[in-house]
Amino acid sequence: MSTLRFHAIKESLAYKAILVEEKERRSDLFGKNVFNENTMRQYLTKNAFIGVANAIQFGKKIDRNIADQVASSMKDWALSKGVTHYTHWFQPLTGATAEKHDAFFETIGHGMAIEKFGGSQLVQQEPDASSFPSGGIRNTFEARGYTAWDPTSPAFIYETTLCIPTIFVAYTGAALDYKTPLLRALHAVDNAATAVCKYFDKNVKKVTSSLGWEQEYFLIDKMLATSRPDIILTGRTLLGHSSAKGQQLDDHYFGSIPNRALNFMRDLETECMLLGIPVKTRHNEVAPNQFELAPIFEEANLAVDHNSLLMDIMGKVAARHNFKVLFHEKPFAGVNGSGKHNNWSLSTDTGINLLAPGKTPMSNLQFLTFFINSIKAVHTHEALLRAVIASASNDHRLGANEAPPAIISVFIGEQLTKVLEELEGVTKGKLSPKEKTELKLNVVGKIPDVLLDNTDRNRTSPFAFTGNKFEFRAVGSTANCGNPMTVLNTIVAKQLKDFKVEVDTLINKKDLKKDEAIFNVLREYIKSTKDILFEGNGYGADWETEAKKRGLSHNKTTPEALKARVSKESVALFEEMKVMSKIETEARYEIEIEAYIKHIQIESRVLGDIARNHIVPTAVKYQNILIENVKGLKEIFEEKFKGVSKEQTNLIEQISSHIEGINANVTSMIDERKKANNMEDIEKKAYAYCYKVKSLFDDIRYHCDKLELLVDDEIWPLTKYRELLFTR
């Protein structure tokens, strides 16, 4: 293995940057391989274009005749670009994307063939669903599943395949993907937010949820990554001593982008432009060889599709540049992990961002309405929000020094806190003319000035207001954005729905004017949600204690956190908002807790293999070298040999101690794994893997990492942190 390590280092040092020339402006490249509005206008008949536009804008069904026209036009466009196959591109509950390619080619007899693609192939397909996670929604032998076209996300060409974004459901209609519940949640928040918007503007007909994700990742030389079985099989290093130099000098963050990495980024961004992914920002992140890219905000469904597509493309482009992309939330111990911040907002079809203050007291009251309702939604469902970001990999990141804790809180900044305190003092019931004037001019009216220089990105809060949006910072870098976006939009939709009922009740039964009713309801929300607000100062390490006093949940591990997914409140929430049935909600719990078990199980097997089959034999080999050295010293120095060989003897003893520690802990880990595997109750099995199996990882790693410092570098089998993180 040491031969492989040094061969990998030699190969990686020989790699040169693959130069990427950008010959066209990005604005000219943007969307060239997307069947977008511009392309549809060129290829579709007027009736077909109107049919698709109505489906996108108003959710109207597309009849078979229109579907045939769209399919024919899509085929002509795709063939003109050298495409040979089409696929229904979907996002099953594996966390990855899925596709089955079919050729346009079809025989017509007499030795002849044509390119064929009709409305039936566009609208629906029946892939074998038996091997996708279903959480018990259907039996394995009931393999039929359906993919159905989502016209709100445009088809695109990748390489020689026409990709059609679709939902994925079981033959019963139950959702087997991330997209279906997301579309339902977006519909729910549209209806609820539009109804509330009409208090302020009767012309609002639609509210859209927007998302801007920030994708963090590591770029590791492909040969070096290949030399590490743990990286290849688990996406992270299960052992390895920290490099003497890590991120402590803060010299990587926002630094000059290494040449090889920069050319990878250029190549990636060109691919993104062609596919209509509006990537805009790129920079070095905090840890060595860690980077980030971020796009311009988009409608949430499209943004989720684009992030999933981006992660696929990144792997392929990285291979061209002799890199491996690591999306794992914590691939290296001792340096920062990776997140995927989800920046979320709501916008009207009249062009108003509902989480941005306006120029008038009325528009600012609208802002406050949506701002405070969002906080109330998070306060009510904080445990569910924690559940939706839970995973085996994100557990390593949440609560670490560089990431938000596993306690959900909301940061709004000192100035906005003062605004809420002012509103908390609003008189109950009818307001005096003087109080109305005071509120509108000196509290609500001054919000834009308050926000101008006082917004911040608080690093200790998982959910922070950053001027005109909320940033959900706790989402993991491997996550499908559709999962947190489904929950966030659902809880806000529910809260806005309840808010409207309360306001209407005060207007109709208490004879309050609209503004008075809104102020009264918001006042009560401010009082009841104080516990969720956290400014990140004054508590330090005592925040856990303080959060417990406030009644906030603190679920440190995935098995603990996931329980909130299937609580009575969560099941009722999703059913009421028509986002997921009880069966679909419970299925997701089953799938996610099974995934947790499998991830820890794989890591346990890989760690045991590396520790016993790579580290221990290497340590024994070096120990034998030392033993021969001690024997030679005895021959030369005779009586004096104990003095001159003392350090070597101590080293032999230390190595023996660490070998013993490895073998004892690996044996215990295997025994605990066997016990866990025999458990039928999936929840008990998850807890066993979390607290019995995974708890032994650190002890095994400790002994392996100590041996890395003792054993001769020339024979150490695994590529070291200094090589993985600092090879440019």
% of the chain surpassing 90 pLDDT: 68
What is the residue whose two structure tokens read 């077909």?
48
Which amino acid makes up residue 527?
Answer: K
Taking 50 as the threshold, does the pLDDT of residue 278 lie above it?
yes
User: What is the token pair recorded at 651?
Assistant: 């080293």
pLDDT given for residue 400 in this prediction: 67
Q: List beta partners, residue 105.
A: 115
Alpha-carbon distance of 77 to 715, in angstroms, equals: 57
pLDDT tens figures, 6-16: 888 888 888 88
Q: What's the rounded mean pLDDT across residues 187-204?
A: 97
Taking 80 as the threshold, does the pLDDT of residue 573 lie above it?
yes
pLDDT tens figures, 218-277: 999 999 999 999 999 999 999 999 988 878 777 778 788 999 999 999 999 999 999 999
Q: What's the rounded mean pLDDT across residues 412-428?
A: 88
Of 572 and 357, the structure prediction assigns the larger pLDDT to 572
Rg (CA), the chain: 29
Q: What's the rounded mean pLDDT across residues 583-592?
A: 95
pLDDT given for residue 142 in this prediction: 54
What is the number of residues in the chain?
728
Which amino acid makes up residue 430?
Answer: K
Alpha-carbon distance of 665 to 662, in angstroms, equals: 5
Q: 309: part of which helix (H) or strand (E)?
A: helix 300-320
The DSSP secondary structure of 650-684, one letter per residue, reads HHHHHHHHHHHHHHHHHHHHHHHHHHHHT---HHH
Q: Checking DSSP bridges between strand 145-149 and strand 124-125, what pairing results, if any?
A: antiparallel
Which amino acid makes up residue 457?
Answer: R
Alpha-carbon distance of 171 to 164, in angstroms, equals: 20
297 in the Ramachandran plot: left (φ > 0), alpha (ψ -120 to 50) or beta?
beta
3-state secondary structure 378-399: HHHCHHHHHHHCCCCCHHHCCC
pLDDT tens figures, 595-604: 999 999 999 9
Of 513 and 114, the structure prediction assigns the larger pLDDT to 513
Binned at pLDDT 50, 70 and 90, residue 2 comes out as low
Taking 80 as the threshold, does the pLDDT of residue 134 lie above it?
no
pLDDT given for residue 605 in this prediction: 98
Alpha-carbon distance of 656 to 661, in angstroms, equals: 9
- Tell me the backbone φ, ψ of residue 272, rounded to 5 degrees: -65, -40
What is the residue whose two structure tokens read 């309801």?
521
Which amino acid makes up residue 336?
Answer: N
User: What is the token pair recorded at 505?
Assistant: 């009740």
Alpha-carbon distance of 438 to 565, in angstroms, equals: 44
Binned at pLDDT 50, 70 and 90, residue 141 comes out as very low
Q: What is the mean pLDDT of the chain?
A: 90
Q: What separation, in Å, do the N-terminal and C-terminal C-alpha atoms of the chain show? A: 22
Alpha-carbon distance of 230 to 234, in angstroms, equals: 6
Q: Are residues 84 and 113 in contact, defined by beta-carbon separation less than 8 angstroms? A: no
* 3-state SS assignment for residue 444: helix
